[in-house]
């Protein structure tokens, strides 16, 4: 047992659900007790989905405990098949169903006999993998399933596309700025003259999966999601993949050069150097920013970085290599991938922190006292408590991290966005600091208050006690309304009863 | 849909139970705030933690007095000793927070692996010297607000069974209580006894925000009724005395286990009344309590009329409109009854669980309201099926759907007004004073959409091709 208040990565089934509901016309059925379908709320609220989240539960209740699910899961699958006509139903185990040890494979096989759609069981162990690992695995599983299916039917295309083409693997629902990143990557590919063969899983149909081998190569922008699928495609079809995250000016260039190399090996004859140069120096503002006086002022300032592997590694490199900022420590909660992270950032920070314990992170921030933090929502709150500005760079995230405006982190526009994010975090901190040195904007003593808080009316003890229970931001208004009410009626002493009578009368 | 045969009695149905609701462990969110010296330990998995973390939003960052005891593989397979593990965590909690009570929330996982929390608690309690209350608020058995019910039922057993000192030492008792209540408002203790009618002690149950507690207490005081205590109180150390023969009354419709426990275990007498939600409900609630104590209520009719008059600007927005409750927090019957009185038609009252005995007075009042307002009686659907409900909503096209967040945005995108049901759980909705707040919530989508109505932005999804 472990005492926990906060977790960075969710439970395994969340990863599976993120993949399933990213695809078009795929439905997930969770084998779960009532209330475990909180994923639907998150998807509906955070990403403001207009459509119903295609996730339902086959509810585990007392009867299931006593007798097993029996027909229930199969019925739920066939029912959903008839109602929604999905292409695929993914039966999703949860922590509860893991310990029930029901033979979910058997349910899937039985349901497959009746259902018109495909049915599969997400192969994830709740006690061994987290959301990110489970998502990676489920994506691989679905890709494999449809490749095998096409192969059996002899529908697997044998040839590559005529022109260089790519599969973008790993864009998913509830991913940090994933939609914007996807648009930016497509734009980048268009600039490079590369066709986008498929984007998975977001918005893809499972029927497209058999065409994945047609691409010349796969691009896996995020470390956490898509590598298993890319490795599988490489093993099966020899399709090479690029796993350099194009985040930041240097890494974007590296990613593009790798693409150039890979497609030239397959017979394309492209030279992207001119493009990289043009973008770096004149289109993206990040390189110019690094040279500007603004950025000079940031030299040697202390920062700390924490997040998932992809974002924490990329931001660390940008801060250190592209802006000359001193990254005291960089860390990730992706413990399972710690070696990769170490290798990526070791030359760009003093210290590396691999932990899932937000308390340890908070302490490490307090100890270092950086000028700015780049982390998740949790670090933002630590920053609030310690009065240190924070830019949010990775999940877990809140609704404000699902902006409506175009804010990619990847590609050349991404470099602009990240520059703003970093610079704004630091200047805010500087402004605060200056204010403190000079004792605030407005140091003159306030002589008269605009809104009089004093009055001739007497508040009784219980009246005052009730008033103090009212949240601060409306208290003044309630107080004024109550006093007006009392004055109108000639009441001298304001008790709790008078306060509530006033509320009833005016809706204060 | 045939309108021809209108039902004359409430029609109860039960569907598949495939509906969306919050897990009952969410009750820690409001109970730890209500019971100020408590600490809630949820013994469960990452799934439970993830739900709480996301459902409680920003509260999580305010160093809440709750935590997860996250079970690991070793706990599931009993390689680790439950007692030792819990002891280790509870000692840590005692050291860091020093609470007056630790509430263990049992979850689905502890049920399935049959962790004997009720057995472990007394032993550990003796060892660490802090009361441990066990509530099995899990998703296998309960929905959302029923979590509070399981906690309060467990707390009911912890209420002192008699006033600490004998009756003839009244003055001294006051002195002692003053000491015990050190720092608490003195007024309550020196309250003029003469303001009250002589009646047997009354204890109310249900967790409400402190201002609402004050309001309802004052409301009864106007009738000369003294509230001897409240389950739960602000602090665990102030739980009310419950002697055999005390009267108890519920303030919320989801407290049936607590009511049962108070009757069977504590030998209290339950006053079965409608719940004080809406001015009609509040009046009926007070009247019922008065009638049990043989008191003729004073000025209630005028008071109700006066509240209704104050609500008119809101009521006219919803009069003649229709509402559909998908059901997730058990407040549905009371809210439906109030909205019928406001002139709305209720198509369907979805509800997770329907205790017809505990809610008897409320159901009767709903029936009466429908007859008197001349609107058809709603169908009450227990354990609803959300998919079927959405189909019915498409058919009925109600003016308002009260539903969970999972369905709210998708329905809005299809031009159907929704109100998020969970807000009713957290807003102040009880008593005369807060009737306006209920309507503030109910009318908000209608007012918002009135503001936007000329823009032609009703349906924001592309028409799905008919198959």
Q: What is the 3-state secondary structure (H, E, C) of A195-225?
A: EEEEEEECCCEHHHHHHHHHCCEEECCCCCC
Would you tell me which residues 350-369 of chain A have a C-beta closer than 8 angstroms to some C-beta of chain B? none
pLDDT band at residue A444 under the 50/70/90 scheme? low
ipTM rounded to 2 decimals:
0.88
Within 136-155 of B, beta carbons closer than 8 Å to A belong to 138-144
Indicate which of B57, B96, B115, B139 best probes the interface with A, i.e. most A CBs within 10 Å of its own CB: B139
CB–CB contact B140 A57 (8 Å)? no
With CB atoms and an 8 Å threshold, state whether B69 touches A61: no
**CA angle, A280 as apex, A279 and A282 as ends, to 5°?**
65
Sequential pLDDT tens for chain B (467 residues): 444 555 668 899 999 999 999 999 999 989 999 999 999 999 999 999 999 888 876 566 667 889 999 998 888 888 889 999 999 999 999 998 999 999 999 999 999 999 999 999 999 999 999 999 999 999 999 999 999 999 999 999 999 988 766 445 445 445 555 555 554 444 444 455 568 899 999 999 999 999 999 999 999 999 999 999 999 999 999 999 999 999 999 999 999 999 999 999 999 999 999 999 999 999 999 999 999 999 999 999 999 999 999 999 999 999 999 999 999 999 999 999 999 999 999 999 999 999 999 999 999 999 999 999 999 999 999 999 999 999 999 999 999 999 988 999 999 999 999 999 999 998 999 999 999 999 999 999 988 888 787 787 777 777 655 54
Range from A148-162, A185-199, A284-298, B332-346 carrying the lowest mean pLDDT: A284-298
Distance of alpha carbon B370 from alpha carbon B10, whole angstroms: 10
pLDDT at A238: 95
From residue A108, alpha-carbon distances to A31, A90, A144, B318 in Å are 12, 9, 17, 48
Contact A507 B185 (CB under 8 A): no
Q: Are B134 and B118 in contact (CB under 8 A)?
A: yes
Cβ atoms of B13 and B409 within 8 Å: the answer is no
With contacts defined as CB-CB under 8 Å, which chain A residues touch B53?
A: 6-7, 396
- A294 counts as catalytic: yes
Specify the pLDDT at position A449.
45
Judge whether A386 is closer than 8 Å to chain B, CB to CB: no
pLDDT band at residue A498, thresholds of 50, 70 and 90?
confident
Arithmetic mean of pLDDT over chain A: 91
Q: Which chain A residue's Cα is nearest to B308?
A: A504
Q: Does B215 touch chain A (CB under 8 A)?
A: yes
Give me the residue from B54, B68, B211 closest to A469, CB to CB.
B211
Choosing among A12, A16, A38, A40, which should be mutated to test the B contact, i.e. which has the most B CBs within 10 A?
A38
% chain A with pLDDT above 70: 95
Determine which helix (DSSP H) or strand (DSSP E) holds B393, and give its type and residue range.
Answer: helix B386-396
Q: CB A44 to CB B409 under 8 A?
A: yes
Q: Which residues of A touch B75 (CB under 8 A)?
A: 1
Per-residue confidence (pLDDT) for residue A475, from 0 to 100 = 81
Residue A174: Cβ-neighbour burial (10 angstroms; 0-12, 13-18, 19+): buried
Report the chain B residue with the minimal C-alpha distance to residue A35. Answer: B23
Confidence of residue A466 (pLDDT cuts 50, 70, 90): confident
Q: How far apart are CA B28 and CA A466, in angstroms?
A: 24
Which ranges constitute the DSSP H helices of B61-131?
Answer: 73-76, 82-97, 108-112, 117-128
Nearest Cα to A381, choosing from A361, A407, A410, A354?
A: A361
Asked if B110 and B43 count as a contact pair (C-beta separation under 8 A), the reply is yes
pLDDT mean over A466-476: 79
Q: Is the pLDDT of residue A155 over 60?
A: yes
Query: What is the DSSP-derived secondary structure letter of residue B459?
Result: B
Please list every residue in chain B whose beta carbon sits closer than 8 Å to the beta carbon of residue A13.
47
Q: Please tell me the distance from the alpha carbon of residue A315 to that of residue A418, in angstroms, as a whole number.
A: 8
Asked whether the beta carbons of residue B18 and residue A13 sit closer than 8 angstroms, the reply is no
- The answer to whether the CB atoms of B144 and A35 lie below 8 A apart is yes
Catalytic residue among A191, A294, A357, A420: A294
Q: Measured between beta carbons, which residues in chain B are less than 8 angstroms from residue A10?
A: 46, 50
B460 at the A interface (CB within 8 A)?
yes
Q: Beta strand pairing status for A55-59 and A118-121?
A: unpaired
Residue with tokens 């998932």: A308
Please report, in angstroms and rounded to a whole number, the separation of the first and last CA atoms in chain B.
Answer: 23
**What share of chain A in percent tops pLDDT 90?**
69
To the nearest whole angstrom, how far is the Cα of B52 from the nearest Cα of chain A?
Answer: 9
Predicted confidence (pLDDT) per residue in A38-56, tens digit: 999 999 988 888 999 999 9
pLDDT band for position A302 (50/70/90)?
A: very high
Cβ(A361)–Cβ(A353) under 8 Å? yes
Give the model's confidence band at A508: pLDDT under 50 very low, under 70 low, under 90 confident, else very high. very low
Q: What's the gap in Å between the CA of A321 and the closest CA on chain B?
A: 33
Q: Which residue has the higher pLDDT, A339 or B192?
A: A339
Q: How many CB atoms are closer than 10 A to CB B359? A: 24
d(CA A215, CA A196): 8
To the nearest 5 percent, what fractions of chain B are helix, strand and coil? 45, 15, 40
Closest residue, chain A, to B85 (C-alpha): A1
Residue A442 has pLDDT above 80, yes or no: no
**A112, A116, A162 from A27: Cα distances, Å:** 14, 13, 34
Give the tens place of pLDDT for each residue, A245-259: 999 999 999 999 999
Which contiguous run of DSSP H or E holds residue A273?
helix A273-278
List CB contacts (< 8 A) between B138 and chain A: 33
Residue A118 has pLDDT above 60, yes or no: yes
Residues of B in contact with A36 (CB under 8 A): 23, 47, 51, 139
Write out pLDDT tens, residues A13-29: 999 999 999 999 999 99
B380: left (phi over 0), alpha (psi -120 to 50) or beta: beta
The whole-number average pLDDT for the span A470-492 is 82
CA distance A340 to chain B (A): 25
């Amino acid at each position: 047992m472990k005492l926990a208040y906060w977790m960075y990565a969710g439970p395994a089934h969340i990863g599976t659900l993120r993949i399933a509901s990213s695809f078009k016309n795929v439905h997930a059925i969770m084998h779960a007790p009532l209330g475990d379908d909180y994923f639907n709320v998150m998807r509906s609220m955070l990403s403001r989905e207009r459509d119903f989240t295609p996730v339902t539960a086959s509810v585990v209740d007392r009867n299931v405990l006593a007798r097993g699910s029996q027909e229930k899961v199969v019925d739920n699958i066939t029912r959903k098949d008839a109602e929604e006509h999905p292409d695929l139903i993914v039966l999703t185990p949860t922590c509860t169903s893991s310990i029930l040890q029901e033979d979910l494979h058997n349910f899937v096989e039985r349901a497959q006999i009746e259902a018109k759609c495909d049915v599969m069981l997400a192969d994830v162990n709740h006690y061994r993998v987290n959301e990110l690992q489970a998502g990676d695995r489920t994506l691989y599983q679905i890709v494999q399933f449809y490749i095998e299916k096409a192969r059996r039917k002899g529908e697997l295309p044998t040839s590559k596309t005529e022109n260089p083409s790519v599969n973008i693997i790993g864009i998913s629902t509830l991913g940090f700025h994933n939609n914007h990143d996807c648009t930016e990557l497509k734009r980048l590919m268009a600039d490079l003259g590369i066709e986008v063969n498929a984007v998975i899983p977001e918005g893809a149909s499972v029927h497209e999966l058999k065409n994945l081998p047609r691409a010349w190569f796969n691009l896996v922008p995020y470390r956490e999601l898509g590598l298993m699928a890319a490795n599988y495609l490489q093993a099966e079809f020899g399709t090479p993949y690029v796993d350099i995250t194009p985040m930041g000016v240097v890494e974007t260039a590296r990613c593009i050069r790798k693409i150039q190399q890979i497609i030239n090996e397959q017979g394309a004859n492209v030279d992207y150097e001119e493009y990289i140069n043009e973008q770096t120096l004149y289109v993206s503002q990040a390189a110019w920013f690094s040279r500007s006086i603004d950025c000079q002022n940031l030299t040697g300032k202390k920062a700390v970085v924490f997040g998932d592997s992809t974002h924490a590694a990329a931001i660390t490199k940008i801060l250190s290599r592209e802006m000359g900022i001193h990254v005291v420590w960089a860390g990730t909660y992706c413990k399972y991938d710690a070696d990769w992270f170490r290798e990526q950032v070791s030359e760009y920070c003093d210290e590396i922190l691999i932990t899932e314990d937000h308390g340890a992170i908070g302490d490490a921030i307090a100890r270092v006292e950086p000028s700015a933090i780049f982390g998740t929502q949790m670090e933002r709150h630590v920053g609030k408590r310690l009065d240190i500005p924070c830019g949010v760079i990775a999940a877990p995230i809140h609704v404000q991290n699902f902006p409506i405006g175009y804010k990619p982190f990847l590609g050349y526009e991404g470099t602009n966005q990240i520059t703003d994010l970093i610079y704004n975090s630091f200047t805010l901190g500087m402004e605060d600091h200056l204010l403190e040195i000079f004792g605030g904007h407005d140091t003159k003593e306030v002589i008269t208050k605009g809104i009089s808080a004093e009055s001739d009316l007497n508040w009784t003890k219980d009246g005052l006690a009730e008033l103090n229970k009212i949240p601060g931001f409306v208290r003044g208004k309630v107080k004024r309304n109550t006093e007006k009410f009392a004055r109108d009626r000639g009441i001298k002493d304001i008790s709790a009863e008078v306060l509530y009578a006033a509320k009833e009368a005016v809706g204060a | 849909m045939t309108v021809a045969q209108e039902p004359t009695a409430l029609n109860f149905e039960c569907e598949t139970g495939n509906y969306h609701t919050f897990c009952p462990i969410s009750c820690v969110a409001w109970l730890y705030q209500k019971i100020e010296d408590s600490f809630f330990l949820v013994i469960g998995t990452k799934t439970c933690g993830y739900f709480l973390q996301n459902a409680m939003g920003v509260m999580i960052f305010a160093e809440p007095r709750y935590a997860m005891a996250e079970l690991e593989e070793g706990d599931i397979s009993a390689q680790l000793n439950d007692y030792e593990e819990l002891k280790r965590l509870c000692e840590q909690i005692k050291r860091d927070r020093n609470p007056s009570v630790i509430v263990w929330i049992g979850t689905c996982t502890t049920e399935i692996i049959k962790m004997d929390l009720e057995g472990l608690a007394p032993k550990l309690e003796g060892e660490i010297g802090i009361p441990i209350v066990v509530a099995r608020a899990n998703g296998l058995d309960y929905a959302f607000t029923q979590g509070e019910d399981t906690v309060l039922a467990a707390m009911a057993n912890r209420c002192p069974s008699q006033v600490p000192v004998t009756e003839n030492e009244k003055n001294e008792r006051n002195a002692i209580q003053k000491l015990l209540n050190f720092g608490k408002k003195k007024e309550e203790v020196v309250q003029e006894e003469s303001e009250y009618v002589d009646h047997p002690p009354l204890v109310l149950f249900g967790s409400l925000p402190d201002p609402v507690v004050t309001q309802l207490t004052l409301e009864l005081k106007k009738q000369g009724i003294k509230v001897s205590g409240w389950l739960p109180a602000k602090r665990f150390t102030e739980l009310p005395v419950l002697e055999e023969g005390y009267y108890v009354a519920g303030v919320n419709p989801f407290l049936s286990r607590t009511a049962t426990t108070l009757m069977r275990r504590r030998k209290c007498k339950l006053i079965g009344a409608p719940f004080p939600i809406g001015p009609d409900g509040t009046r009926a609630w007070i009247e019922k309590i008065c009638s049990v104590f043989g008191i003729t209520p004073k000025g209630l009719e005028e008071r109700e009329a006066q509240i209704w008059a104050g609500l008119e600007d809101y009521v006219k927005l919803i009069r003649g409109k229709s509402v559909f409750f998908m059901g997730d927090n058990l407040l549905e019957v009371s809210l439906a009854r109030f909205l019928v009185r406001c002139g709305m038609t209720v198509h369907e009252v979805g509800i997770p669980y329907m205790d017809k005995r505990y809610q008897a007075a409320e159901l009767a009042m709903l029936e009466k309201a429908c007859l008197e307002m001349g609107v058809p009686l709603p169908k009450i659907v227990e354990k609803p099926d959300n998919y079927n409900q959405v189909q019915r909503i498409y058919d009925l096209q109600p003016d308002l759907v009260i539903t969970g967040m999972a369905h709210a945005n998708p329905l809005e995108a299809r031009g159907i007004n929704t109100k998020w049901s969970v807000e009713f759980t957290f807003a102040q909705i009880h008593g005369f004073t807060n009737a306006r707040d209920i309507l503030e919530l109910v009318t908000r989508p209608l007012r918002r959409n009135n503001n936007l109505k000329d823009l032609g932005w009703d349906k924001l999804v592309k028409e799905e091709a008919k198959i």
